[in-house]
Amino acid sequence: MSKALIGAGCFWGVEEYFRNLGGIKKTQVGYSGGKTTNPTYQEVCVGDTEHAEVVLLNFDNNIITFNEIINNFWKCHDPTQLNRQGFDIGSQYRSVIFYYDIEQKEIAENLKKELQKITTKEIATEISEAKEFFLAEDYHQCFIAKKKL
């Protein structure tokens, strides 16, 4: 099982998008990239923690590759928006790919360069080494799927 850690705006919609892709075995929403240990949703929303809302994906690399995950990442949000997605504004909604190894870093950087060649706007996506992942509160997990029931 492989893992990917991405942020693309509010984690509810991002999780739902990826949860429905073949090869994604588990999704968890949470916070990463900041300076606070065990942040709460309220703390992240204030903006002082420097964390992004992220989705941790556990995936079967034989079914879906990291490359395919990043190509879907570009489709599920607007990577040209800096520190926001639509009406959600703040650094917690930034576009970010956290990589776990050099291979993921190279894939993310190469795909970002390819995307930049075909768009006139600057790609704002941050690519950084994965930091500690802090699980969000239970009510955030599979939020959209729970609302569909």
- Say if residue 49's pLDDT is above 80: yes
Average pLDDT over residues 30-48: 96
Distance separating alpha carbons of residues 92 and 31, to the nearest angstrom? 8
Q: Which domain holds residue 122?
A: 2-148
Distance separating alpha carbons of residues 20 and 129, to the nearest angstrom? 26
Kindly report the CATH number assigned to the domain that includes residue 65. 3.30.1060.10
- Say if residue 149's pLDDT is above 80: no
For the question of residue 142 being annotated catalytic, the response is: no
Q: Which of 10, 45, 76, 142 is catalytic?
A: 10
Label residue 147 by pLDDT band (50, 70, 90).
confident
pTM: 0.96
- Angle 60-62-67 from CA coordinates, rounded to 5°: 85
Specify the pLDDT at position 62.
Answer: 97
* Mean pLDDT taken over the chain: 97
- Say if residue 148's pLDDT is above 90: no
Query: For the chain, what is the domain count?
Result: 1
